[in-house]
Amino acid sequence: MENQAEKDTDQNEEVSEISDSPESLSLADVSAEKATSDSETDLEIEDPGKAFAVIRGTELYLEACRLLEVVPVSQFIQNLSKTYINLNHHGLGPKGAKAIAIALVSNASVTHLELEDNWILAEGAVCIAQMLRENCCLQKLNISNNHIGTEGAEAIARLLLDNMSYLQVLQLSGNNFGEDTAPYFADALTGNYQVKELDLSHNAFSEKGGQLLGQMLASNETLELLNLSWNQLSMKGAIALGTGLRNNGTLKVLNLSWNGFGNEGAKALGEALKVNNVLVQLDLSSNQIDNEGAKKLCKGLEVNENLKVLKLANNPVTVEGATALITSIRKNVKSMMEEINISNVLVNETFIKMLDLVCQEHPGLDVTYGEVGGHISKNPEHYPNPMKVIQNYLNEHNLELWDFFRNIDKDGNMKIPVADVRRAIMQESSIPLNRIQIAELVQKLDRNQTGLVDYSHLKEKKPAQKPVEKKMKEEEEKEDLYE
C-alpha cells in the first residue's frame, strides 16, 4: 500500500508539470490531474489507467473536453477527418488547446491546422509541442498571436532541434519573442531539416537576435521562406543576415521589412546578392534606406542572376535611387528581375523613358512607382483599352482565348506566371500594347494578385466556343476575362 501511494504521488506530480513524454497527454493522466487538483469535482472514469490510444477521434476529444472542463468546438469535431482545420480566433485558451492536442496525437488526417489568436499561452504551446512529437501527419501549423512567450518558444524550439515533427510550415508571428528566445530558435534551426517556411514576424528580436539568426542562416540547409518583418533587427542584425545569406543555398524568400536597418544593412544585403544564386524574393520595405543605400544594393543587382522580386516601398528613396535601380537591371543582361516595388517614389519623365528602354530589354519586368510629375500615371485615358487590342489580335489571327494562353504556357499546367504573360505580349509585335497597358491587362487577369494567370476554366468552355468577337465583347463589358 505504501509503494502504491508513493507511485500515485509521483504520477500526480508528473501530470501537474506536464512532462515531455507523450504519456502526459493520456486520458488517464488528465483524469488523475483533475481528481487530485479539484476535490469538489466528481469526474471519474472506471479505468484510470486507460490510455487515449483506446479512444479515437470525436470520442477522444469530447472526453478530453469533459475532463478539462472546456466547451467542445463543433468545427473541430466536424473536420477531424479532413486535411484542413481552421480554428483561428476561437478563444480556445490553454485548456482548449490541450484538448485539441490530445485529440490529434494519433490523428492521421489533418495536415494543416490554424490556431491563430486563441490565447493558448505557454501551457497550450507546450501541449501542442508534445502532440507534434507523436503526430505523423501535421505539416502546416499556425499558432501566431497566442502570447506563448519564452516558455512556449523553448518548447517549440526543442521540438525543432530534435527534428521530432513532420512540420514543414510554421507560423509564430506576434508571440512576444524577445532576445531571450533568439538562442533557442538559432540553435534549433541550425540543424533542423524539416521546416521549409518559418514566420517569426511581429516579435521583438533586436540586433543580438538578428546576429544569431544570421549565423543560423549560414548553416541551415532546409529553409526556403523566412519572415522576420516587424522586428528590431537594426543595422548589426541586418549585416549578420546578409553575411549568412552569402553562404545559404536554399532560402528563396526573405522578408526583412520594418526593421529600420538603414543603408549599412542594404549594403550588406547588396554584397550578399553578388554571390547568392538562390534567393528569388527580397522585401526591404520600410527600412530607412535612402538613395545611398539603394545604390549600394544595386552593386548586387548588377551581377545577381536569380532575384525576381525586390520590394523597397516606403523608404526615403527619390527618383535618383529609382533610376539607379533600373539602371542596374539594364547593366545585367542575365538579370531575372520581374518586379520592383518603389510605390512611394515620385518619378519624372526621364525615369519613364529609361524604364521603357529597360523593359524592352527585360520584357518580363514590372516596376511599381508613385506619380509622374504630380499626376497619377496609371490607366491614362488616351491609351486604347488593352482588352480591345487583344480582341483585335485574336480576330486577325483567328484565335480563341484558349489558344492565346496555351501558346504562352510553357509548363502546360494552365497557370502562367504574370511575368511570362508580360514578356510574351511585349515581344509580340502584332499586339501594340505599351508597358502601362500591359500592366493594366495583367492586373485584370490576376485580380487576386497570385502572380499567376489561371486559364483552366477555358478548357471546359472550349468545345462550345463562341465567335471571338462576340466573346471578347461580352468579356470586355464585364471588365474581366474570367467572367
What's the rounded mean pLDDT across residues 103-125? 97
Q: How far apart are CA 418 and CA 365, in angstroms?
A: 10
Lowest mean pLDDT among 81-95, 169-183, 309-323, 443-457: 443-457
CB contact set of 9 (below 8 Å; sequence gap of 6+): none
pLDDT tens-digit readout, 215-230: 999 999 999 999 999 9
The pLDDT of residue 451: 86
Q: Which helix (H) or strand (E) holds 325?
A: helix 319-331
The pLDDT of residue 290: 98
The pLDDT of residue 39: 32
Grid cell in block for residue 301: 543587382
| Alpha helices (runs of H) in 50-181, residue ranges in sequence order | 57-68, 74-78, 93-104, 121-134, 149-161
Under DSSP, is residue 156 helix (H, G, I), strand (E, B) or coil?
helix
CATH says 79-376 is which class?
Answer: alpha beta
pLDDT above 50: residue 481: no
Under DSSP, is residue 283 helix (H, G, I), strand (E, B) or coil?
strand
pLDDT above 70: residue 408: yes
Question: What ranges make up the beta strands (E) of 264-422?
Answer: 281-283, 309-311, 339-342, 366-369, 371-372, 375-376, 415-417
Identical fold between 79-376 and 386-478: no
Neighbour tally for 404: CB within 10 Å = 21
List the one residue out of 167, 217, 163 whose CA is nearest residue 190: 217
Q: Which helix (H) or strand (E) holds 475?
A: helix 468-478
**Which strands sit side by side in the sheet containing 225-227, from one edge to the other?**
84-86, 112-114, 140-142, 169-171, 197-199, 225-227, 253-255, 281-283, 309-311, 339-342, 366-369
Phi, then psi, of 141 in degrees rounded to 5: -140, 130
Q: How far apart are CA 343 and CA 367, in angstroms?
A: 8
DSSP of 115-136: --SS--HHHHHHHHHHHHHH-S
The pLDDT of residue 475: 52
Q: State the pTM of this model.
A: 0.81
pLDDT tens-digit readout, 237-296: 999 999 999 999 999 999 999 999 999 999 999 999 999 999 999 999 999 999 999 999
pLDDT tens-digit readout, 363-403: 999 999 999 875 444 444 567 888 788 778 878 888 787 78
**Contact by Cβ (8 Å): 362, 329:** yes
Burial string for 362-389 (b: 16+ CB within 10 Å, else e) reads bbbbbbebeebeeeeeeeeeeeeebbeb
Maximum mean pLDDT: which of 15-24, 280-289, 408-417: 280-289
The pLDDT of residue 29: 54
The pLDDT of residue 55: 52
> How many H helices and E strands in the chain?
20, 15
Categorize the per-residue pLDDT at 53 as very low, low, confident or very high, splitting at 50, 70 and 90.
very low
Q: How far apart are CA 407 and CA 252, in angstroms?
A: 28
Categorize the per-residue pLDDT at 46 as very low, low, confident or very high, splitting at 50, 70 and 90.
very low
pLDDT above 50: residue 430: yes
Domain boundaries, the chain: 79-376, 386-478
Q: Which CATH architecture has domain 386-478?
A: Orthogonal Bundle (1.10)
Lowest mean pLDDT among 20-29, 188-197, 252-261, 399-408: 20-29
